[in-house]
Amino acid sequence: MDFDLSEEHRLIQQTARRVARDVIAPRAAEVDATGEYPEDYYQAFKEADLLGITLPADVGGTEAGTLALAIAVEEVAKFDCSAGLMLLLSSLSTHTVKFFGTDEQKQSYMGPVARGEKKAAFCLTEPDAGSDVANLQTRARRDGDEYVINGQKCYISGGPNADQVVVFAKTDPADPRTLNAFIVETDMPGFEVTSIDRKLGVRGVPTGVLTFDEVRVPAANIVGGQEGLGMRAPLATLNSLRPVVGARGVGLAQGAANYALEFAKERRAFGGPLTDLQAIQMKFAEMAIDIEAARMLVYQGSWMVDQGRYGPEHGHMLSVAKAFATEAANRVASEALQVLGGQGYMMDHPLERHYRDARQLMIVEGTSEIQRLVISRALMQGNLAYA
C-alpha cells in the first residue's frame, strides 16, 4: 500500500498551491465581503488547466482523476472555501453526462466546461425536496421532438451565473423511476434565475432559485438519449464527489489551524507566547489529529472513485469521508478561532470567515444526517462489517 503521491499528483498540488497563494489568498477577504463572483479565480483555474481534472482528455480535460481534484481543492480551500467549491462544480455539473451521456453530449456539454468556455450547474434540490430525491416534483413532458420542463430548483451552487445546467425532472412526478436528466442552456426561453440567496458563508459562489417555465429542449438533450435513468444518475454523481466535499473541509481546516498557530507563536500572555501554554498545545494537537484523519479518509474515498467504486455498495465509505472531514473542519475552525479569543471573532482575521464557511459543508451534497443513514444502512445490510 503506497501512500506517496504520484508525480502527476504532486505537480497538480504545486500548481493549485501557486494559484492559491498568488491569486486567491490576496483576494479572499474581499470576495467574502462583496459577495461578488471571483472571475479572476476562474480565469486562473482555466489558465492552469484545473477545470477539467476529472474530465476525459478527448473533450479537453486532463483526466487526472478524483484524487487529483481533491488535492487541488484542498490547496485552494486553505485560503477560500469558495475557491474549492468552484473547482468542485466543474465536476459536479458534468459527472451526470460523463457517466450516462451520449458521445455527442459529452463533447457539446462537458467540453466547454473542461476548457473554461462555459460555466455549468447541477440542478437537483427543490423547495419541497432536498434530501428526499425520490420526491422531486419538477416535470418534463414529451411534446413531439421536444421535452417541456416545468419546475423550480433551489440552493443551486453556481446556478445564477451558469451558461448551461443539468436539471433533473420526472415524466411522472409521482413515480421516481421516471426521473431523468436534461441539458438546458440558460438562454433558452422560460429559464429564469428567480432569486439569489443571502448566505452565511461561501459567498464567492452564488446560489439561487432557478425556475423552469415551459422550457423547451430538444429530445436529444435528455442525458443518455432516452428515458430510463431513474435514481442511479443523481446518486452516482453525488457519490463520486462526496470525498471532494470533504477535501474542501480538509483544506479549510489546514488554513484555519495554520493561521491560528502563527498567531499563537507571536501573541504573548502570562510571560511567554501562547504556544508555551499546555492548554493551547492540546488544542493544536486535536486539530492535527482531525486534519490528518480527515485527509486519509478523503484520499481513500477519492481513490475508490478513481477505481470505479462509487456505486450503492460503496457509498458508505464515501459518506464516512464526507461526514468526518466536514465535521472535522467545523471543529478545527471553532478551536482555531478560540485560540485568537476576541480577535478571532473580528473580521480583521480570516478565522471568522473560515468558521462561517465550514458550516455549509455539513449540509451540502447530503447532510451529515443523510451520510449517517447511508453508513448505518450499510452496517444493517452487512456491506460494512467488523466481524
Residues 201 and 79 both lie in one domain: no
Supply the pLDDT for residue 74: 98
The domain total for the chain is 3
Is 200 part of any domain? yes
Domain boundary among 60, 88, 114: 114
Q: pTM score, two decimals?
A: 0.96
Residues 278 and 142 both lie in one domain: no
Q: Which long-range contacts (CB under 8 A, 24 or more apart) does 130-135 make?
A: 130/155, 131/366, 131/367, 131/369, 131/370, 133/176, 133/179, 133/231, 133/234, 133/235, 134/176, 134/179, 134/231, 135/176
Residues 17 and 78 both lie in one domain: yes
Name which of 69, 36, 32, 34 is nearest 51 in CA terms.
69
How many CB atoms are closer than 10 A to CB 352? 19
Is 50 part of any domain? yes
Residues 178 and 55 both lie in one domain: no
Residues 215 and 238 both lie in one domain: no
Which residues are catalytically annotated?
A: 365
Residues 106 and 137 both lie in one domain: no
Supply the pLDDT for residue 377: 97
Domain boundary among 221, 243, 272: 221
Is 227 part of any domain? no
Is 1 part of any domain? no
Cell of 230: 431513474
- Is the Cβ–Cβ distance between 354 and 201 less than 8 Å? no
> Which residues have CB under 8 Å from 273's CB, separation 6+?
264, 265, 266, 267
Residue 97 DSSP SS3:
helix
Q: What is the dihedral of CA 273, 81, 236, 147, to 10 degrees?
A: 170
Domain boundary among 80, 114, 148: 114
Q: For residue 157, give the CATH number of its domain.
A: 2.40.110.10
> Which residues have CB under 8 Å from 131's CB, separation 6+?
366, 367, 369, 370
Residues of the chain with pLDDT under 50: none
Range of the domain at 101: 7-114
Residues 203 and 254 both lie in one domain: no
Supply the pLDDT for residue 118: 98
Residues 191 and 206 both lie in one domain: yes
Residues 92 and 208 both lie in one domain: no
Is 62 part of any domain? yes
Phi, psi of 207 (to 5 degrees): -120, 155
Q: For residue 52, give the CATH number of its domain.
A: 1.10.540.10
Residues 100 and 187 both lie in one domain: no
Is 226 part of any domain? no
Residues 376 and 258 both lie in one domain: yes
Supply the pLDDT for residue 14: 98
Q: How open is the CA angle 368-369-374, to the nearest 5 degrees?
A: 95
Residues 43 and 80 both lie in one domain: yes
